Chain A
Amino acid sequence: MATEIGLAQGIDLQRSTVALLTELGVPLVVAQVLWMLLPMVAIVLVATVGALVCTWLERKISAAAQQRIGPEYAGPFGLVIPIADVAKLLVKGNLVPASADPLLFSLAPAIVFISVFLCYLVVPFGQNLLISNLGTGIFFIIAVSSIAPIGLLMAGYASNNKYSLLGGLRAAAQSISYEIPLALAALAVAMMSNGLDTVQIVHQQEGLGLLTWNVWRQPVGFVIFLIAALAECERMPFDLPEAEEELVAGYQTEYAGANFMLFYGGSYANLFLAGLLVSVMYLGGWSLPVPIEAIGQALRIAPTEPLWQVVAALLGITMMLLKTFAFIFFAILLRWTVPRVRIDQLLDLGWKFLLPIGLANLLVTAALKLAFPGAFGG
């Protein structure tokens, strides 16, 4: 649960909710159990809505890139389209091919989906606005997201289709090769903030607002992380596992209905997660371009004022989402700008280019940290 890292800064929803419930006559244990359910439901909702918004943005931005209008009639600006999508996929038949392995076939999408959604446990939207402030924050995300390739291999194998098997093998090869540069870039950031947990990483960037964001101190790491995150999400320059001209739809070929929705939603939830991670690690997380304390002082508001705390938390969430959607916009625009790479080019880029550069970046960061402890988080 949201641990209090001293400072009583921001809002502590846990304590106030439990206090409210116990005042209403609910026993303490029951109140704690109720509290545990609340953020879990909230985070599943956030991830789902994020993924849905991503699908809408994908359609609209793709349309704009091709000088079309895109979805228009379903609600204002076609905003209801994602809901129509979900309704359609839910009522469609959940087909399992006759020669497929039924158990593994149904288990695979669930494994991919769960591994993506578990990562949201440690993504902070504010000082205390996260489910669990694990000491191993970033490492936890890298570890849990490494389970997904097993689900992809399982889907490829269970479909009993050569396109699916090839797609699954490609997906697994891609995600294990790009995990290493991703982890090295994250390690350089963790080294600067003296810890792996996500809240600490944001705090270390808060000092002077825009000027102290990690993107200035880790430009190489930022680029490596962007490329590796796109590859992990199987986005356009790297969407080999589902390259439609070669592999029909890769490991998703045989899937229909709700099982397909799990893959589809999982991939957009993964994109949203990548955006959140980019904003947490390099773009200052929930912090504003101007430090929030400075704004408070300029407006002569005490930081303990409850209303101001609510406003600050809302501003933080807005900033976080703005940065995340900037990344998603970039990813979608890239999809219509660059051609797909070949599988050997993809693996060459990962192992022979990004990996050495990531190692060098780590070394340089360590040296700079020793040389300028003030600027690089000594």
Chain B
Amino acid sequence: MLMAANLGEQLAGLGSLSLAEGTQVGVLVILAALVTASAMGVVLLTNIVYSAFLLGFTFLGIAGMYLLLNADFVAAAQVLIYVGAVNVLILFAIMLVNKRQEYKPLKLGNLRNAIAGLVCLGLFGLLLVTVTTVPWNVTTRIAPLPSSTVAIAQHFFTDYLLPFELASVLLLVALVGAIVLARREFVPDTLPLGYPDEEALELVERPVLPASPRREG
């Protein structure tokens, strides 16, 4: 209620807002529409490539939200990591295994969709109730920090030191895991007996696979 009242006040006072505040409200509305629409597109479109591209727009919209909150470093990091790395990786994976296969319609597809829609609506209702009943400490203005980079660094190395270090350990574990998965042991092919012992002209090494098919020399 409080939030809604506050929003109403803001909308009522829109005419008298200064240029900067008016722009901020406009940009907020545009970004919210962008994020919502592209997120819906990610879920609802059947073409997986479209979904992946729309995911990029969702991430960009979120970065814009951070920018509105004066968190410029977080916004740039969001763009760099989510758009520049995660989304590109998703696209890469999709395009490298692009099979162009049609999805078979599932049994009772409409019923499944209806149940999923009901669950989503229920979650939305729950969030709506939470948002409107909790007395949020709403501030109309966010004081800009002199440098958000410095502020983030200070938090990282004082009161958020443990989560920061834990996150770095987690990333290290992920890195080691990725290397272990990517680096399979390579062994040279054992040549059949009686075969002339000469250098193979083809690939000498191949990954050890259970019951790897022996290639004819």
Q: Which residue of B lies closest to A197 (CB)?
A: B147
Are A150 and B56 neighbours in the complex by a CB distance under 8 Å? Answer: yes
Task: Please determine whether B92 and A169 come into contact, CB atoms closer than 8 angstroms.
Answer: yes
Which of the 9-residue segments B75-83, B104-112, B184-192 touches chain A? B75-83
Stretch at the interface among A44-52, A73-81, A139-147, A361-369: A139-147
Asked if A286 CB lies within 8 Å of chain B CBs, one says no
Q: Is A228 an interface residue (CB 8 A)?
A: no
Q: Residue of B at shortest CB range from A33?
A: B19
B68 CB, min distance to chain A CBs, angstroms: 15
Please tell me if the beta carbons of B87 and A176 are within 8 angstroms of each other in the complex.
no
What residue of chain A has the Cβ atom nearest to residue B145's Cβ? A135
- Of B19, B83, B92, B147, which contacts A135 at CB under 8 A? B147
Contact with A along B1-42 (1 / 0, CB 8 A): 000000000000000001100000000000000000000000
> Of B76, B92, B95, which one neighbours A139 at CB under 8 angstroms?
B76
Known: A143-B80, A147-B79. A136 touches B85 (CB 8 A): no
Per-position 1/0 for A178-211, Cβ under 8 A of B: 0100000000000000011000000000000000
CA gap between A196 and B73 in the complex, in Å: 10
B95 near A136: Cβ-Cβ < 8 Å: no
A-side contacts of B56, CB under 8 Å: 147, 150
Do A172 and B19 have beta carbons less than 8 Å apart? no
Distance from B62 Cβ to chain A, minimum over Cβ atoms (Å): 13
Q: Is the CB of A29 within 8 A of B76?
A: no
Chain B CB within 10 A, most for which of A33, A143, A149, A179: A143
Whether the Cβ atoms of B96 and A176 lie closer than 8 Å is no
Complex Cα spacing A29 to B72, Å: 25
Given A135-B73, A172-B88, decide whether A144 and B53 contact each other with a Cβ distance below 8 A. Answer: no
B154 within 8 A of A: no
What A residues does B95 contact at CB under 8 A?
Answer: 153, 156-157, 165, 168-169
In this complex, the member of B19, B73, B76, B92 whose beta carbon has the largest number of chain A beta carbons within 10 angstroms is: B76
Using C-beta atoms within 8 Å of the partner chain, give the interface range for chain B.
Answer: 20 to 34
A142 CA to B92 CA, complexed, in Å? 20
Q: Which residue of A lies closest to B78 (CB)?
A: A143
* Chain B CB within 8 A of A274 CB: no
- Partner pick for B83 among A29, A104, A150, CB 8 A cutoff: A150
- Chain B window 138-158, contacts with chain A (Cβ cutoff 8 Å), 1 for yes, 0 for no: 000000000111000000000
**Quick check: A144 and B19 within 8 Å, CB to CB?**
no
A residues in contact with B83, CB < 8 Å: 146-147, 150
Which residues 43-98 of B sit at the A interface, judged by CB distance below 8 A?
A: 49, 53, 56, 60, 72-73, 76-77, 79-80, 83-85, 87-88, 91-92, 95-96
CB distance from B89 to the nearest CB of A (A): 8
Chain B nearest CB from A327 CB (Å) reads 24
User: Complex Cα distance A139/B79, Å?
Assistant: 10
| Residue numbers in A under 8 Å from B84 (CB-CB) | 143, 146-147, 149, 176, 179
16 sampled A-B residue pairs with Cβ under 8 A: A29-B18, A29-B19, A135-B73, A135-B148, A139-B77, A140-B72, A140-B76, A143-B76, A146-B83, A147-B56, A147-B83, A150-B83, A150-B88, A153-B91, A179-B84, A195-B147
- Chain B residues proximal to chain A, CB less than 8 Å: 18-19, 49, 53, 56, 60, 72-73, 76-77, 79-80, 83-85, 87-88, 91-92, 95-96, 147-149
Q: Which A residues contact B (CB, under 8 angstroms)?
A: 29, 32-33, 104, 134-136, 139-140, 142-144, 146-147, 149-150, 153-154, 156-157, 165, 168-169, 172-173, 176, 179, 195-196
Besides A136-B148, A144-B76, 17 other A-B contacts (C-beta < 8 A) = A29-B19, A135-B72, A136-B72, A142-B80, A143-B77, A143-B80, A147-B56, A147-B83, A150-B56, A150-B87, A153-B95, A156-B95, A157-B49, A165-B95, A168-B95, A176-B88, A179-B84
Of all A-B residue pairs in the complex, the 6 with the closest CB atoms, nearest first, are A146-B84, A143-B80, A143-B76, A143-B79, A135-B147, A153-B91
